[in-house]
């Protein structure tokens, strides 16, 4: 009798495990930071789209920039018995306890877009972009484009001390290292905003002989570049021709500028972090094979040759 009971429960258990392995009835909880930027909104939209395409039942929780809300959301996901949890952590620290709870409940957690300071065994993997690499791609494009000609570069940095600002600067400088024809002549923070990007660019133009001394602008995000483009136009110069413009993020508005010939290149920070996450999750649930602890998303370079208007139309509806 005892044996039969055990056998029956084992069969049920196996059936359950088998059931959860097929993507069709997967339930995944997603704890999102909030919607503080257009990129974040696009990430939310794409995550929902990706889940729908794969027939995954996505439970979405907006934390409104608060860690305690995220912790609450994760606990509620655990209580609901979801198959996996996606977490875009608002801060790096303080996750150990709740991640341990998820681990005890045998629910894999995948980090999106940012990482945490917690032991690696507490989460399945982290899907993020490599910020240094992004800067590097932008730098390489500039090195190739000017092709040995002498070029003074001005840089619009992100918010001072933020990790995208530090890393995107580092990557760009690494790409320029050893190239004597390229020189960063001015570098200031534009706080990742259009207004500050415009204001700082105005001062760069004044400081560098009305802009005649500047051959290229590197902005740590597209919004600052969009602001700077307006400043260049108002100073009577042609952005994209007199001053090359390269930036990072690939938000829709920069594609409009590229279509108008006012921006030259952008490096994409893809908002589709969930796609790769769902892929590894499917493999993991099927084969039980642990993926690498870090999955790097592609930092794709877009230029004016990539039909910017088409990309703009594609991206417009994503909620950027």
Partner 1 sequence: MTSTVRTYLGRLLPQLIALAIIIAAISIIFPGFLNLQIQNGRLYGSLIDILNRGAPVVLLAIGMTVVIATKGIDLSVGAVMAICGAVSASLITSGHSLAETLLVTLAVGVLCGVWNGILVAVLDIQPIIATLVLMVAGRGIAQLITEGAILTFNDPGLIFIGSGSFLGLPMPVVIWLVFGILVALVVRQTALGMLVEAVGVNREASTLSGVFTPVLLIAAYVLSGLCAAIAGVIAAADIKGADANNAGLWLELDAILAVVVGGTSLLGGRFSIAASVLGAIIIQAINTGILLSGFPPEFNLIIKAAIIVFILVLQSPRFRAVFTFVSMPRAAGRPTEREAK
Comparing CB distances to partner 1, the nearer of 146 and 207 is 207
157 binds partner 1 (CB under 8 A): yes
Tell me how crowded residue 152 is: count the other CB atoms within 10 A of its CB.
17
Q: How far is the CB of 242 from partner 1 (least distance, A)?
A: 15
Q: How far is the CB of 130 from partner 1 (least distance, A)?
A: 23
Comparing CB distances to partner 1, the nearer of 227 and 240 is 227
The only residue of 25, 52, 234, 307 in contact with partner 1, by rule CB under 8 A: 234
Comparing CB distances to partner 1, the nearer of 160 and 296 is 160
203 binds partner 1 (CB under 8 A): yes
Q: What's 108's DSSP letter? A: -
Comparing CB distances to partner 1, the nearer of 94 and 319 is 319
* Location of structure tokens 């602890």: 293
Binding mask 242-261 for partner 1 (x = CB under 8 A): -----------x--------
Per the CB < 8 A criterion, the answer to whether 235 and 210 are in contact is: yes
220 binds partner 1 (CB under 8 A): no
The only residue of 43, 113, 167, 223 in contact with partner 1, by rule CB under 8 A: 223
The window from 78-86, 127-135, 139-147, 186-194 that contacts partner 1 (CB under 8 A) reads 186-194
DSSP-derived secondary structure for 139-166: HHHHHHHHTT--EEEEEEE-STT-HHHH
State both tokens at 100: 């341990």
Provide the pairing of β-strand 244-249 with 84-87. Answer: unpaired
Per the CB < 8 A criterion, the answer to whether 285 and 123 are in contact is: no
The only residue of 54, 59, 133, 194 in contact with partner 1, by rule CB under 8 A: 194
d(CA 294, CA 175): 23
The window from 22-30, 47-55, 175-183, 192-200 that contacts partner 1 (CB under 8 A) reads 192-200
Per the CB < 8 A criterion, the answer to whether 273 and 127 are in contact is: yes
d(CA 83, CA 205): 55
134 binds partner 1 (CB under 8 A): no
* Location of structure tokens 């004044």: 206
- Angle among Cα 280, 281, 284 to the nearest 5 degrees reads 85
Interface residues with partner 1 (CB under 8 A) are 35-38, 40-41, 157, 160-161, 186-189, 191, 193-195, 198-200, 202-204, 206-207, 223, 226-227, 230, 234-236, 253, 319-320
């Amino acid at each position: 009798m005892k044996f039969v009971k055990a056998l029956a429960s084992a069969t049920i258990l196996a059936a359950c495990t088998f059931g959860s392995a097929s993507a069709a009835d997967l339930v995944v909880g997603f704890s999102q930071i909030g919607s503080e930027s257009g990129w974040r909104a696009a990430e939310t939209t794409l995550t929902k789209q990706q889940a729908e395409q794969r027939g995954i039942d996505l439970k979405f929780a907006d934390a409104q920039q608060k860690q305690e809300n995220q912790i609450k959301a994760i606990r509620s996901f655990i209580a609901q018995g979801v198959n996996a949890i996606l977490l875009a952590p608002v801060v790096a620290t303080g996750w150990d306890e709740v991640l341990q709870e998820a681990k005890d409940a045998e629910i894999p957690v995948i980090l999106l877009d940012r990482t945490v300071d917690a032991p690696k065994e507490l989460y399945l993997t982290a899907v993020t972009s490599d910020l240094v690499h992004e800067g590097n791609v932008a730098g390489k494009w500039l090195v190739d484009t000017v092709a040995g000609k002498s070029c003074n570069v001005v840089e619009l940095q992100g918010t001072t001390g933020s990790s995208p600002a530090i890393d995107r600067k580092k990557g760009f400088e690494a790409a320029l290292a050893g190239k004597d024809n390229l020189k960063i002549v001015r570098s200031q923070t534009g706080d990742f905003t259009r207004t500050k990007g415009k204001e700082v660019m105005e001062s760069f133009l004044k400081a560098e002989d009305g802009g005649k001394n500047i051959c290229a602008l590197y902005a740590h995000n597209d919004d600052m570049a969009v602001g700077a483009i307006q400043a260049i136009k108002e100073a009577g110069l042609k952005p994209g021709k007199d001053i090359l413009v390269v930036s990072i993020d690939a938000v829709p508005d920069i594609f409009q500028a590229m279509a108008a010939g006012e921006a030259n290149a952008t490096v994409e920070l893809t908002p589709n972090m969930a796609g790769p996450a769902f892929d590894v999750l499917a493999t993991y649930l099927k084969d039980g094979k642990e993926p690498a602890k870090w999955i790097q998303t592609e930092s794709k370079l877009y230029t004016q040759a990539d039909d910017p208007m088409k990309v703009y139309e594609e991206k417009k509806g994503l909620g950027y």
